[in-house]
Copies of this chain bind each other. A is one copy, B any other.
């Protein structure tokens, strides 16, 4: 047994989150793609079956009240809230991340417009593409210009014209963790609003939305929150801004009296102003079940973050030991303060290498053009998995 395998065993033995793995359906595959689609929590299949067979099949329409369907978007929002450092009443679940980016950015521009001529949206130039595409549409439809800037350069371009800034907390490709507190403060100093995309951070590390005064935030729930394929995204609107939140998608679910069927729109109070149409109940209640894992003894965002850093540290150590020098280059920052919960390795023929890794039972993913991406979900990934993944990668590249 190699020295690293022995170390992995020791780390696993000391891991206080190790027992949480039993709350997920896993097999002998090393699953390092939870940053794309989280594994299936044990609690989900039974819940979904109950939702389908009893709530839909037997109660039918009565379930909108009796099974709590109607209030699910805000109820589940309140379940996500503590995971991103938000007090209750500021998050609603529903729609896709893209749609929520649109709501958040347009609403941010409208709020900023109250304070002078602000007609520029600044967007992370390295963003996951959909945020950029949607930001372009939001800019076009609000008469703004769009300015793509790498996150580090954002403070330099902020000014009187800046309406809103859309940033990713963790870069989807490199795994770089951006400085949410510092950048938010800089945006505020310029009198603009900060909109954060938490897709690659929520559930993996502390976010601190309330503490850092973030204005609006969005995120998906199918990565580190394990909500299932295409489970609904969420929208955070800081409490102080809710009365001015002016949605570009004012669907009937966000009306003050949705069943009044009134011809004139009057927005509801609070976070549910961010709702739009009828929520997709199957996906939403699967997510609700998936979030129960966070109720477990000792399961906390801080514990998850500590293990996440230990996992990625150990992976980098194993890669350095097992992979021949020069074959891969990590594009993920070494500094903990700048690292999310993934490691991205630049590698020639990355697409082909990932295919062979998957054949060998190590599942990560490939990001165009040359990145091997490995996500570490501390709730179910162990140090033995990490050692094996690096070992197999080394064998393939030797």
Contacts and interface: CB of A to CB of B under 8 A. Distances in A.
A137 B103 CA distance: 12
Contacts of A137: 247-250
A114 interface: no
A25 interface: yes
A228 B52 contact: yes
Given A60-B39, A280-B232, A251 B286 contact: no
A33 to B, nearest CB: 5
Contact of A56 (B36, B130, B229, B262): B229
Interface residues of A, number: 81
Nearest to A51: B229
Nearest to A57: B40
Interface stretch (A10-18, A41-49, A383-391): A41-49
A230 B45 CA distance: 19
Interface string A56-69: 11101111100001
- State the 3 A-B residue pairs at the shortest beta-carbon distance, nearest first: A96-B277, A98-B251, A98-B277
Given A25-B58, A134-B249, 18 more contacts: A31-B60, A40-B53, A40-B56, A48-B49, A48-B282, A52-B228, A52-B286, A60-B363, A64-B229, A95-B96, A96-B280, A130-B253, A132-B263, A133-B252, A133-B255, A228-B281, A281-B283, A282-B282
Interface of A: 25, 27, 31, 33, 36-37, 39-40, 44-45, 48-49, 52-53, 55-58, 60-64, 69, 95-99, 102, 106, 125, 128-130, 132-134, 136-137, 141-142, 148, 173, 220, 222, 228-233, 247-253, 255, 259-263, 265, 276-284, 286, 358, 363, 365, 367-368
